[in-house]
Structure 1
């Protein structure tokens, strides 16, 4: 069987990487957006890039940009699906993934839709819109599953019983792989200037940042390869990041003290407030410190220093076992658009 893996260019595609025991060794390809992370993926795996599309672009007053990106995505997705002819499409969302799974479904492929781990309280807009195309719907929290008809629930969150890596006097601040986030950059810069961060700071600003760095931060980079990020996280005592699932979970895997500054829709920083949802949920579990609307990064840093660090991850093994059984069944029964070997 040929498996298509479809996810936007940040935490969504990282969740697909976590499913490698399912698709590794099979005939597969990625469809994603062009980011530093996905360029790393493209060096190791067959991958196609499509334009970034999100309904939130219109909500933020950019409907023309959204429409233009959707038009390009429509034709790019059609060409990719026509060429690759997948039998199964596994998607973690979001907006840019709609056309690939639509065309794959029209060609007879089986569609598996895994909604974002960031959705604790209910399904995402992408899940609600693309859900009718899916043969299998996966929610990653009970509350979201209860509000998404036909969804199976697999909660992948797990604490890790492992030694914490030895840490350096290092702070890693990152805005993630997709959008710039100048408020985070400015808050980290202010914290460095006022002595709240005496450690060495590595600051990743994102492409297009307009924030001016005034503090003593020698290592400022727009983007970082994902392999470099993993090496930095292994050394970093503190991580200051946006509220993206991928950034938070990769830091928790390495036992970092995590300070989360969620992007805010009302400030025009993201398409909705789902980052507040995940940040608050993890803060309630005592795993991260959170900067609220008051932008009091000093209090969050102090809280992170006082809190015992924990190691945690997303363990999709139960989901992988379930999907592996489904794919094997589809292959053996010829159910769907399955090639004859």
Structure 2
């Protein structure tokens, strides 16, 4: 059975990469957004790109941008699904994925909807909207599953203990793959100028308005996933937005992690779910969170005084579940 792996850019598609033991030997293809990470995926797997679309764009006053993206997404998604005709769809969301999932379901595909690991307290908007299309619904926290009718739960989070890797005096700051985040760039720049970051700084800025930063900061608009992994192996401290993909990848590398959650009130995201993510990880004692006071200096002091820990997402149970579903549907 041909399998469509459908996810928006950033952390959503990063979760599909964690499921590689499930899909790597199967007849499959990706449908996703065009980001540095997904361009890496396209070099080794059949990949189709669709426009970024999110309901939250309207909340930020970008209704025309949302409508334009939705129109192109409908046309592109229909072409992809008619061309590939998948028998199974595995999707982790979010908004841009609705149309390819809808068309695949209309043509008879079995749909597995895995809600984002970022949704600890309840299902995402995508999970609720796309739920009627799904044959199987999987939440990644027990609390979220209780609020999502028909969902089973597979919690992949595993804390692995103290990190003992030898690190360089290097700080890596990243805004992620999909949305601009000028506040993070400004806070890192101010901390560097104030002498609060004596280490060398590598800053991934993303696509944003030009921002002048301290001359000692090494800046990159975009970094490949391979380059990010190489930097993380060396970096002692990571400063990132509160996306689960960025956080988990840094924790897997044994870095001290400081998270700056995007705020809807500041026009930085479509809602405040990054606060939920940041607080959940901070309460577990494995990241340092910068609150609405923007006090990065205090967060740096706290992070340096803490022991780095390693954590990961163990997808063994979920991979086994997916293998069983595909075997059953193929028989």
> In which range does the TM-score fall when normalised by the shorter chain?
over 0.9
Corresponding residue number in structure 2 for 1:114: 114
**Within the alignment, does 1:127 sit opposite 2:127 as a pair?**
yes
Structure 2 residue 136 is the aligned partner of structure 1 residue 136: yes
Deviation per residue, 1:153-181 (Å, 9 max, x gap): 01110012585321000000000011110
Give runs of aligned pairs for residues 81-230 of structure 1, distance below 5 A: 81-160=81-160, 164-213=164-213, 215-230=214-229
> What displacement does 1:216 show?
3.6
Match of 2:264, SS state, is coil
The answer to whether the 8 A contact 2:175-2:205 is kept is yes
Residue 324 (structure 1) shift: 0.6
- Measured in 1, the distance between the counterparts of 2:163 and 2:194 equals 33
Q: Give 1:323 shift.
A: 1.1
Distance 2:162 2:274 in 1: 28
Q: Deviations over 1:14-36 (max 9, x none)?
A: 10010011111110000000011
Unpaired segments ≥5 residues, structure 1: 333-341
Cα contact 1:22–1:324 (8 A) shared by 2: yes
In 2, distance between residues paired with 1:327 and 1:45? 20
Alignment: residue pair count:
331
Structure 2 gaps, min length 5:
none
Distance 1:163 1:19 in 2: 24
Residue aligned with 2:189, SS = helix
CA deviations 1:274-328 (Å, max 9, x no partner) are 1110100000000100000010111111111111110001111101111111111
For the residue of structure 1 that corresponds to 2:99, the secondary structure is helix
State the Cα distance separating 1:219 from its structure 2 match. Answer: 1.2
- Give CA deviations for 1:34-68 in whole Å, capped at 9, x if unaligned: 01111111011100000000000000001111011
1:339 counterpart residue number? none
Match of 2:233 in 1: 234
Which whole-Å CA distance do the structure 1 matches of 2:281 and 2:149 have between them?
Answer: 26
Residue 307 (str. 1) matches residue 306 (str. 2): yes
**Which sits farther off after the overlay, 154-163 or 279-288?**
154-163
Residues 34-49 of structure 1 mapped to structure 2, 5 A cutoff? 34-49=34-49
Secondary structure at 2:42's aligned position in 1? helix
Partner of residue 257, structure 1: 256
Q: Give, in whole Å, the separation in 1 of the partners of 2:274 and 2:257.
A: 14
Measure, in 1, the Cα distance between the counterparts of 2:172 and 2:216. 11
After TM superposition, the score normalised by the length of structure 1 is 0.96
Distance (Å, rounded) in 2 between the aligned partners of 1:179 and 1:34:
12
Task: Give, in whole Å, the separation in 2 of the partners of 1:78 and 1:243.
Answer: 33
CA distance in 2, matches of 1:29, 1:164: 37
